[in-house]
Amino acid sequence: MPVAVPGGERPAPSGGARAGGAAVDFPGVAADGASGGRGLLLGVALSGAVLAAVALRLEPPPPRPAGAPASEFSAARALALLREILGDEAPHPVGSEANRRVQDRILAEMDRLGLRREVQEAFACGRFGMCATVRNLLARIPGERPGKAVLLMAHHDSVPAGPGAGDDGSGVAIALEAARALLSGPPLPRPVILLVDDGEEGGLIGAQAFLDGHPWAREVGAIVNLEARGTSGPSLMFQTTGDDGWLVRLLAGALPRPAASSLFPAVYRLLPNDTDLSVFEPLRLPGVNFALIGGAARYHTPRDDLAHLDPGSLQHHGDNGLAMVRALAGADLDDPPRGNAVFFDVLGLLVVRWPEKASLPLALLAAVLALAGTWVRTRRERLGEAALGLLAFLAAPIAAATLALAAPPAAGAGPFVAHPSAATAAFLAAGAGAVFLAAALFRRAGPHGLRAGAAVGWAALAVATAVLLPGASHLFAVPALAAATVLAPSLARPEHAAADLAVAAVAGLVLFPVALLVLDALGVGAAPIGAAVAALALSPLAPLAAAFPQARRWLPAGAAGAAFVLALGVAAAVPRHSPDAPEHVVVLFHQDADSGRARWLVHAASGRMPAPMRAFAAFGDRTELPVPWGKVRPSFAAEAVPLSAPGPVLELRGGADEGGRLRARMLLASPREARDAYLLFPPDAVVESVSFGGLRVPAPYPRARTWFGGWQMYRCLTLPPGGIDVEVVLGEGGPREVVVADQSDGVPTAGAALVAARPPWASPVQEGDATLFTRRVRLGVH
Ligand SMILES: [Zn+2]
């Protein structure tokens, strides 16, 4: 069984114990009596050192210079390329002129590399009811033999709000720099296909078009996708598709500094996020997905630019992409092995892994060891102490999470704030404080009881996760095995702190990466999760804290509590947002084409409108829904002078009323030449089908409806100047009404002062500032 346990962590106190106390492994580290304070100090120092090592190894590597060997990935070369590709750093969403210029520069680079390339142009729809004419840029590097190919994928479109230097310019530049590196060496066994696709931000449209319509799609045997939900931090391997046991073995051997954990895919599956790789997921093709998630406040904003893209992160991302492509191009893609893995990296030095189906046996083994150790060594009369220890073990993370509920309001509305380190420090202190508090409250359990209870507690969590969320089971199984292994010897010699220190080191190596990444991954609201994780990581210090001299037993908890309050104060005092980590503030000009009424709408993520913007017009004091489907964008509204431009057109061209079932053929057009137009059906409409230009739009995922308060959106992101043919089939019973909208980037010139009043610490996001016209249309045929 390929179970690797981190080396060097297995303590060796058993010899000392068996020898009847003849050998002393850690002299002076006694866990009881007057010297107990020193044990705790040592434990805190050790956990602090592990935390620092984990933090240091989560920093990306130094970028390699432009003169690096040709076979290597160089961030300096990739950055120069990205500078070239992004040009003036204009946002370049699907269908925009800026996007076409970006494409031309990528194609020129493909030509310069001598790649066999082609452009796939297609009108296609993604899974969220959004369609567009996309232009995918493809190239291939021949292998030694034909057959299954490795697909290296990134997307060239950005959101309308920002230049997308990280998302996904970094991926595009890496694909090109990786292609250059691959071409510099001997051919790989298998072909490599580069897919620089379009319309990812519009709902994975380009990837879908490739899968559905390009002949090369049938050759794909494995996929490497490069993404960015930020501009810095490590390149995390955060998702796998297909059976991943062999993929993890491959990446463990290939990546120079792996930052990977089966926890990430397990959590990612629960999140409402998608990348191009999602399109291939139903095929169960083997795939690995890398992403940058540091600096998430800049994601999909104008600050996702070259100035903020960390060259070290680009290096790490490129190292991962290139190494993974090389490894897959040498692997058996025709019949890859079955089975999934549970895995995690240790300081980016190695990847510990085991088959997913071994998780439950491992957890049960830890449980048996923990229970046996508790029973044999504590004797029946001391089982009560172990029970108290279990209570202390479980109470600490709950208490820590409860304390850390104070962190999000202190750090401010996010989800991503300018200085998350203060909130991180706060929840780490909350974790420590909760462990020390539990140790003081459950002091009667004694070091034995706390150790035995913790071993049983770890094992119980390991068993639970092995059943419910196997990808997360290593977080508990590894400390459980460590705690259970050292339990019997440590109970025999309770005065020795070596066992606690060993378990603390193991728990820290496994759990601190989670604590340090959780705010980047989930936002400041996840501070309670971080606190619970920190409490678990620090729980091996509980026996040392319980051995603190009786008279000063509240001192450790008090010290941690003071640190918590201090960090909370700092989190509250530092600015929530900065020019580098802006609050999202979006300006919308909305004109109701039926009434002719127009409004300025300002959405601020904090729910507070920046004062300089309020001076622009008579904005209301409270937010309102900008449009009935604008659930996610409560906005401040003020009357605006209407534009003389016409609203969108939905013109009946034919159709039939088939016994209560309506089939209508129409032309959807934007006389003011907006690029983006959509139909919105009320929540109770019975929409049987919608087609754009003869292409039936797949029913949007149910998740997409929740974004719009139940309204059903069908959207064409690249509306042709003359409009597009639409066919709608509505079932019996529902309303026969639709809202038609057209949307263009930016606001009318009359709003220039409003946009200019947006403070430097705020910025637009996603679709950015926009001009929206809507009209209600009753559907019917005569
Ligand atoms: Zn992206």
DSSP 492-556: HSTTB-HHHHHHHHHHHHHHHHHHHHHHHHH-GGGHHHHHHHHHHHHGGGHHHHHTS-GGGTTHH
- The string of pLDDT tens digits covering residues 437-475 is 999 999 999 888 999 999 999 999 999 999 999 999 999
Q: What is the pLDDT of residue 447?
A: 87
Ligand 1: centre distance to CA 439 (Å): 46
How far CA 694 is from CA of 131, 662, 697, 699, in Å, comes to: 12, 17, 9, 15
> What separation in Å is there between the alpha carbon of 86 and the centre of ligand 1?
15
Half-sphere exposure of 740 (CA within 13 A, CB side): 26
Q: How far is the CA of 157 from the centre of ligand 1 (A)?
A: 8
User: 170 C-alpha to center of ligand 1: Å?
Assistant: 10
Task: State phi, psi for 188 to the nearest 5 degrees.
Answer: -80, 160
Q: What is the pLDDT of residues 495-506, one digit of tens each?
A: 678 899 999 999
Q: What is the pLDDT of residues 81-109, one digit of tens each?
A: 999 999 999 999 999 999 999 999 999 99
pLDDT (tens digit, 9 = 90+) per residue, 145-159?
889 999 999 999 999
Span from the CA of 709 to the centroid of ligand 1 (angstroms):
25
pTM score of the predicted model: 0.92
Please name every residue paired with 121 in a beta bridge, in sequence order, or none if there are none.
Answer: 135
pLDDT at res. 380: 61
Distance of alpha carbon 420 from its chain centroid, rounded? Answer: 16
C-alpha 377 to ligand 1 mean position (Å): 55
Helices (H) and strands (E) in the chain, counts: 23, 22
Q: pLDDT value at position 699?
A: 87
Q: Pick the range with the lowest mean pLDDT from 198-207, 411-420, 474-483, 556-565.
A: 411-420
Neighbours of 40 (CB within 10 A): 24
Q: How far is the CA of 153 from the centre of ligand 1 (A)?
A: 11
Q: What is the SS3 assignment for 550-618?
A: HHHCCHHHHHHHHHHHHHHHHHHHCCCCECCECEEEEEEEEEECCCCCEEEEEEECCCCCCHHHHCCCC
3 vs 264, more confident: 264
Q: Which helix (H) or strand (E) is 396 found in, with range?
A: helix 383-404
Can you tell me the mean pLDDT for 760-781?
A: 94
Q: How far does residue 214's CA lie from ligand 1's centre (Å)?
A: 21
Gyration radius (Cα) of the chain, Å: 29
Does the pLDDT at position 34 exceed 50?
no
Distance 448 CA to ligand 1 centre (A): 51
Instruction: Say if residue 12's pLDDT is above 90.
Output: no
- For residue 235, the Cα-to-chain-centroid distance in whole angstroms is 11
- Per 3-state DSSP, the chain is made up of helix, strand and coil in percentages (nearest 5) of 45, 20, 35
Indicate if the pLDDT at residue 1 is higher than 50. no
- Bond before 61 cis per omega within 30 degrees: no
Give residue 505 CA to ligand 1 midpoint distance, Å. 36
Please tell me the distance between residue 274's alpha carbon and the centre of ligand 1 in angstroms.
Answer: 9
Distance of CA 665 from the midpoint of ligand 1 (Å): 35
Residue 25 predicted with pLDDT over 70: no
CA–centroid distance, 106 to ligand 1, in Å, is: 17
Q: Are strands 661-669 and 676-681 parallel, antiparallel or unpaired?
A: unpaired
Predicted pLDDT at 265: 92
pLDDT for res 658: 85
pLDDT tens track for 685-713: 999 999 999 999 998 888 888 888 899 99
Rounded CA-CA distance 13/24 in Å is: 8
Task: Say how many Å lie between the CA of residue 372 and the centre of ligand 1.
Answer: 51
CA of residue 166 to ligand 1 center, whole Å: 8
**Which residues on adjacent β-strands are paired with residue 151?**
193, 223
pLDDT for position 33? 42
CA 555, CA 496: separation in Å to the nearest integer?
Answer: 22
Of residues 170 and 382, the one with the higher pLDDT is: 170
Ligand 1 center from residue 184 Cα (angstroms): 28
Q: d(Cα 73, Cα 314) in Å, to the nearest integer?
A: 10
Q: Is residue 21's pLDDT more than 60?
A: no
Residues 6+ apart with CB under 8 A from 601: 587, 588, 589, 590, 626, 633, 635, 636, 637
pLDDT on residue 26: 36
Distances (CA, A) of 636 to 605, 617, 626, 667, 748: 12, 11, 8, 33, 18
770 Cα–ligand 1 center, Å: 21
Q: Give the Å distance between the CA of 299 and the centre of ligand 1.
A: 9
- The mean per-residue pLDDT over the stretch 507-521 comes to 96
DSSP label of 672:
T
Residue 389 pLDDT = 95
Residue 662, pLDDT above cutoff 60:
yes
Whole-number percent of the chain with pLDDT over 90:
81
Asked whether 294 and 225 are in contact (CB, 8 A), the reply is: no
Q: How many CB atoms lie within 10 A of CB 268?
A: 18
| 130-141 and 192-197 strand pairing | antiparallel
Q: How far apart are CA 185 and CA 180, in angstroms?
A: 9
Residue 30's DSSP bridge partners are: 496
Of 364, 369, 391, 365, residue with least CA distance to 487:
369
State in Å: Cα 263 to ligand 1 middle. Answer: 21
Sequence-distant (6+) residues with CB within 8 A of 561 are: 429, 433, 437
pLDDT at 379: 61
Sign, Cα dihedral of 708, 713, 718, 720: negative
Please report the pLDDT score of residue 672 as a whole number: 96
pLDDT digits (tens, 9 = 90+) for 555-598: 999 999 999 999 999 999 999 899 999 999 999 999 999 999 99
| Average per-residue pLDDT for the chain | 92
Cα distances (angstroms) measured from residue 655 to each of 1, 661, 712:
65, 11, 21
Q: Determine the pLDDT at residue 758.
A: 97
How many angstroms is it from 167 CA to the middle of ligand 1? 5
Q: Phi then psi for 29, rounded to 5 degrees?
A: -100, 70
Confidence of residue 254 (pLDDT cuts 50, 70, 90): very high
pLDDT for 675 beyond 90? yes
- 578 Cα to the center of ligand 1, angstroms: 23
The CA 297 to ligand 1 mean position distance, Å, reads 15
Mean pLDDT of 395-402: 98
What is the CA(497)–ligand 1 centre distance, in A?
Answer: 48
Residue 746 CA to ligand 1 centre (angstroms): 22
Two tokens, residue 341:
């893995």
3-state secondary structure of 345: strand
Cα–Cα distance for residue pair 163/154, rounded to 1 Å: 15
Distance 519 CA to ligand 1 centre (A): 20
- How many angstroms does the Cα of residue 203 sit away from the middle of ligand 1? 10
> Can you give the pLDDT at residue 13?
35
pLDDT number for residue 22: 32
pLDDT of residue 36: 60
- Among 168, 161, 162, smallest CA distance to 206 is for 168
Q: How far is the CA of 227 from the centre of ligand 1 (A)?
A: 5
- Ligand 1 center–CA 155 separation, angstroms: 7
Which neighbouring-strand residues pair with 652? 666
Query: How much is the average pLDDT of 315-330?
Result: 98
DSSP at 64: P
Distance 398 CA to ligand 1 centre (A): 36
Report d(CA 775, CA 592) in Å as an integer. 6
**Interval 161-184 mean pLDDT:** 98
Instruction: Give 620 Cα–ligand 1 centroid separation in angstroms.
Output: 35
Sheet containing strand 661-669, strands side by side:
649-658, 661-669, 724-730, 687-692, 695-696
**pLDDT reported for residue 10:** 33
The Å distance, Cα 201 to ligand 1 centre, comes to: 6
* Ligand 1 geometric centre to CA of 232 (Å): 14
- Select from 657, 640, 646, 727 the least CA-distant residue to 688: 727
Q: What is the DSSP letter of 262?
A: T
Res 184 pLDDT > 70: yes
pLDDT tens sequence across 205-229: 999 999 999 999 999 999 999 999 9
What is the rounded average pLDDT of the residues 377-402?
88
Report CA(109)–ligand 1 centroid distance (Å). 21
Q: How remote is the CA of residue 275 from the centroid of ligand 1, in Å?
A: 7
- Segment (H or E) for 386: helix 383-404
Question: Ligand 1 centre and the CA of 720: distance in Å?
Answer: 25
Q: How far is the CA of 530 from the centre of ligand 1 (A)?
A: 26
CA of 255 to the centre of ligand 1 (A): 22
Mean pLDDT (whole number) for 372-396: 85
The CA 239 to ligand 1 mean position distance, Å, reads 14
Which whole number is the average pLDDT over 267-274?
A: 85
- 681 CA → ligand 1 middle, Å: 28
Alpha-carbon gap, residue 95 to 718, rounded angstroms: 5
**How confident is the model over 182-187, as a mean pLDDT?**
96
Say how many Å lie between the CA of residue 404 and the centre of ligand 1: 31
Strand pairing report for 661-669 and 130-141: unpaired
The Å distance, Cα 280 to ligand 1 centre, comes to 16
- Locus of tokens 């359990």: 445
Which range has the top average pLDDT, 262-276, 368-382, 394-408?
A: 394-408
The span from the CA of 111 to the CA of 180, in Å, is: 11
CA distance 487 to 41: 21
Distance between Cα 357 and ligand 1 center (Å): 33
Distance (Å, rounded) from C-alpha 767 to C-alpha 770? 7
Q: 516 CA distance to ligand 1 centroid (A)? A: 23
- pLDDT reading at 494 higher than 80: no
CA–centroid distance, 8 to ligand 1, in Å, is 40
Residues 717-727 pLDDT 10s: 999 999 999 99
CB neighbour list of residue 606: distance below 8 Å, 6 or more residues apart: 412, 413, 576, 583
Residue-by-residue DSSP string for 153-215: EEE----TTS--IIIIIIHHHHHHHHHHHHHTSSPPSS-EEEEEES-STTTSHHHHHHHHH-G
- What is the distance in A from the centroid of ligand 1 to the CA of 296? 12
Give 47-55 contacts, CB < 8 A, sequence gap 24+.
47/504, 47/505, 47/508, 47/537, 47/538, 47/541, 50/504, 50/505, 50/508, 50/509, 50/512, 51/428, 51/508, 51/512, 51/516, 53/347, 54/347, 54/508, 54/509, 54/512, 54/513, 54/516, 55/512, 55/516
Ligand 1 center to residue 158 CA distance, Å? 7
Residue 234's contacts (CB-CB under 8 Å, 6 or more residues apart) are 58, 59, 60, 257, 259, 292, 294, 313, 316, 348
Q: Which residues of 525-564 are buried (b: 16+ CB within 10 A; e: fewer)?
A: bbbbbbbbbbbbbbbbbbbbbbbbeeeebebbbeebbebb
Long-range CB contacts (within 8 A, 24+) of 605-612: 605/413, 605/414, 606/412, 606/413, 606/576, 607/413, 607/634, 609/636, 610/585, 610/757, 610/758, 610/759, 610/762, 612/757, 612/758, 612/759
Collapsed DSSP state (helix, strand, coil) of residue 774: strand
Q: Which two tokens stand for residue 141?
A: 């590097």
CA of 702 to the centre of ligand 1 (A): 21
